[in-house]
Amino acid sequence: CAIRTSFAVELLSFCVRAHCYRMKCYVLRSRVLGNVLKLLNPVPSSSISSGDRCLKLAALRFLRSVLSVKDEFYHRHIIQYNLFAPVFEAFRANPVGDNLVSSAIIEMVDFIRTENIESLVDYIVRKHLSHSRPHVKSLASHWQALRM
């Protein structure tokens, strides 16, 4: 079941990149981005299966493909519905920094910083990085760069 869901999320990621306008209408109206990011919620059990990691990575790839479109409507939607909250909760739930989920989150923050998406930079600094210091050195360096 996790693999099928992962494929469905991958299909959504492809559609966001290939059909920009129609998918923007669909994603914003149906709030599918928030529902996909619910897959990032940490699993309460101690054993995490590879299917769970696969779902988390698919959700992060979907968010990354939405960000790569560089559309201000998506950015406002992310800010309005606080859609980075599950991303940073997933990062704080596993602060090691040496796994693929943490690396994908750090890469996403780096993409937002290098592309200088000002609305998201301001949102991330105010909502998610100002309350507590980041756990990983690379995210701490991004935090310093975003603050400036």
Range 46-74 average pLDDT: 87
User: Does the predicted TM-score (pTM) go above 0.95?
Assistant: no
User: Could you tell me if residue 98 is left (phi over 0), alpha (psi between -120 and 50 degrees) or otherwise beta?
Assistant: alpha
Give the pLDDT band (50/70/90) at residue 137.
low
CA distance 40 to 36: 8
Higher pLDDT, 69 or 147: 69
CA distance 41 to 88: 10
pLDDT in tens, 85-132: 999 888 888 766 668 888 898 899 889 988 989 899 889 888 887 655
Q: Which two tokens stand for residue 66?
A: 């939405």
CA-based radius of gyration for the chain: 15
Which pLDDT score, from 0 to 100, does residue 11 have? Answer: 95
What is the DSSP code (8-state) at residue 25? H
Which pLDDT score, from 0 to 100, does residue 30 have? Answer: 94
CA distance 8 to 6: 5
CA distance 39 to 86: 9
Which pLDDT score, from 0 to 100, does residue 18 have? Answer: 95
Give the pLDDT band (50/70/90) at residue 142.
low
Q: Is the Cβ–Cβ distance between 124 and 80 less than 8 Å?
A: no
